[in-house]
Structure 1
Amino acid sequence: MIATLFDLTFLLIAPFWALMIFAPKWSWTRRIAESYLIVLPPVVIYIVLMVPVLPELLPLVTRPEIGALAEFMSTPTGAALVWAHMLAWDLFVGRWMYLEGRRLDVHPLVMAPVLVITILLAPVGLPLFLIVRKVCDTTNRGAAVVTHQ
């Protein structure tokens, strides 16, 4: 069951990423992304995985020690929990980036690679987007470079 939930986590969020990356100007993409509910699938999976191991997990997150945490994360349940946590957070951040990109009218050819980097390596994608956002949001100075307007 844990392996199924692990696989399901990505399958449930992939359509949202695909919409934001490949159909960013489609009206339904914006409507869907505006709902914070898109992050619920990985959150629900996280909760389903977490509840049975909560007594074991609580000490690991309240008094973290690298050895014990590494040992837990090396189990199928630990890996699936971390995966669901990462995907939920990455989608939450990616959703915000997508909406900000649309608000600033950042060209989809600029946003798509930033979103791809974010889904793969969120700690790299976020600062990259913050740079794009700064360029576009400084009273729209520089927006023509990014949006071709």
Structure 2
Amino acid sequence: MLWDSLFSLTNAVAVVAWALLLFAPRRPLTYSAILYAGVGLLCLAYAAMLVALLSGQVDAGPVAGAGQFDPADYSIEGLRKLFLSDGGLVTGWTHYLAFDLFVGLWIARDADGKGFSRLAQAPILLLTFLAGPLGLLIWLAARERRARVAARR
């Protein structure tokens, strides 16, 4: 139950922050809310879950037959044991949510600074939300020409 609740809570924080990023006016207060109440809160939740898991303060909730996670075993097999637990999965997912939101915030600010319309940003931001590195890669390619022009000034 603990992991289900944390999963729902972290997803809710991320969805609200992404909705602000996509639809709210881009003002300093909006950026601060996304950064601190979104990214910061997700980072704090991640840190708390990671410490609780690695210190053994909470049960990771391993899937039957997965084996016990050993923090010293940083191999594919060792990490598989971690992610074959509710705690490992929710902690890892929170890591993705925090980093993807941070990248999305950077993309939005960078795009605003380079004069990209919100309409042009929306598909890239949605892709970043759904598949972080792919959205970032597309943004890096899309921004290149304007970044070079701005650098020459």
Normalising by the smaller structure, the TM-score range is: 0.7 to 0.9
Question: Paired residues, what number?
Answer: 134
Aligned to 1:105, the other structure's residue is in SS state coil
**Deviations, residues 5-59 of structure 1 (Å, cap 9, x unaligned):** 0111110121221122223xx144x432256323112112212211222146642
TM-score normalised per structure 2: 0.79
Aligned partners of 1:13 and 1:91 also within 8 Å: yes
Q: Which structure features the higher share of helix residues?
A: 1
5+ long unaligned stretches in structure 1: 141-149
RMSD: 1.8
**SS across alignment from 1:138:** helix
The one of 79, 98, 102 aligned to 1:92:
102
Letter in 1 for 2:31: A
1:42 aligns with 42
| Cα distance in 2 between the residues matched to 1:57 and 1:21 | 40
Structure 2 gaps, min length 5: 56-68
- 2:128 corresponds to 1:118: yes
Residues 91 and 57 from structure 1, CA distance in 2 versus in 1: closer, same or farther, beyond 3 angstroms? Answer: farther
1:143 is matched with none
CA gap of 1:65–1:94, structure 2 versus 1, over 3 A, is: same
**Per-residue deviation at 1:139?**
1.3
Distance 1:94 1:27 in 2: 13
**Distance (whole Å) between structure 2 residues aligned to residue 57 and residue 116 of structure 1:** 36
2:143 aligned with 1:128? no
What one-letter code is carried by the residue in structure 2 that aligns with 1:50? L
Name the aligned partner's letter for residue 72 of structure 2.
Answer: P
Which letter maps to 1:7?
S
| One-letter code aligned to 2:8 | D
Task: State whether residues 70 and 78 of structure 2, in contact with CA within 8 Å, keep that contact through their aligned partners in structure 1.
Answer: no
Measured in 1, the distance between the counterparts of 2:39 and 2:26 equals: 19
TM-score (norm 1): 0.81
Change beyond 3 A, Cα 1:85–1:57: farther
Is structure 2 residue 28 aligned with structure 1 residue 33?
no
CA distance in 2 between partners of 1:39 and 1:58 (Å):
25
